[in-house]
Structure 1
Amino acid sequence: MLLPAVVAATILVVISAIHFYWAFGGRWGMDKALPVNAAGELMLRPGAGATFIVAFGLLLFALVAIGNTGAFDAWASRRLVSWTTRGIAAIFALRAIGDFKYVGLFRKVKTTPFGRRDALYFTPLCLLLCALCVLAAWQ
């Protein structure tokens, strides 16, 4: 039952790589990945530093997910890894629920380009990562 941990880690590494790309000045996809209000104004303006933090955090999440395979048993207890993975699942569950305005399942602004992508890609991906992390933690 290593599959949930490996799939979660793979997805997280890819998302981390995209954030590193943005942190180093890449522009591809960024205009579609940030929430905007109904007037099209950006609701977030993350700088390179904040984007690096997210990129490193996602990479750390990937390492924790891999820890559920037993890869780091010599350095961290499986119980610690399991509980940390549950915490990561909770983070993705909260992101999926959203802020009740611009992001997540209960967003009110739905017709913007970001709102449509959030409904089609970002929120379902967060739900998938939440489920994979829960499965990985319970194996």
Structure 2
Amino acid sequence: MLLPAVVAATILVVLSAIHFYWAFGGRRGMGEALPVNAAGELMLTPGAGGTFIVALGLLFFALAAIGNTGAFDAWVSRRLIMWTTRGVAAVFALRAIGDFKYVGLFRKVKTTPFGRRDMRYFTPLCIVLCVLCLLAAWQ
């Protein structure tokens, strides 16, 4: 059962790296990753600090996932790792459900470029990460 933890951690490290890139001034892809309303106006304008915190959070999530392989058994109890990973799964489940307006499975604004990307990529990725984290914690 190491595969779900390793796959989840790999995806999370890649997502973290993208967010670090944005936090340190990179702009490529950022516009496509932010929700917009029906008029095309950004609904979220994250600053460098907030983006940096998200990057660190994703890195922490990756560490939690990899902890299910036993990598940190000498420092952290497996029970804590398991519950933390379940918490990470819950975060991605909530993101997949969304805010019922702009993001997630139940969004109402669907015809914007972000809405289409969210339907094709972002929400399914959150569902996959949720399932992988649950599988990793279920050992």
TM-score (norm 1): 1.00
Alignment of 1:105-120 (within 5 A): 105-120=105-120
Distance 1:60 1:88 in 2: 10
C-alpha RMSD over aligned residues: 0.3
Distance 2:22 2:112 in 1: 22
Distance 1:108 1:34 in 2: 16
Q: Which runs of 5+ in 2 are unaligned?
A: none
The residue that corresponds to 1:38 in the other structure is 38
Aligned residue pairs, count:
139
Distance 1:19 1:77 in 2: 29
The residue that corresponds to 1:133 in the other structure is 133
Q: Which runs of 5+ in 1 are unaligned?
A: none
Alignment of 1:27-106 (within 5 A): 27-106=27-106
Where 1:53 maps in the other structure, the secondary structure is: helix
Using the aligned pairs only, state the percent identity.
86
Counterpart AA for 1:51 = T
TM-score (norm 2): 1.00
Distance 1:132 1:64 in 2: 12
- The structural deviation recorded for 1:107 is 0.1
The question of 1:25 aligning with 2:42 is answered no
Distance 2:138 2:79 in 1: 10
Distance 2:46 2:31 in 1: 12
Distance 1:45 1:31 in 2: 10
- The structural deviation recorded for 1:121 is 0.2
- The structural deviation recorded for 1:111 is 0.4
1:61-87 Cα distance to aligned partner (Å, 9 max, x none) = 000100000000000000000000000
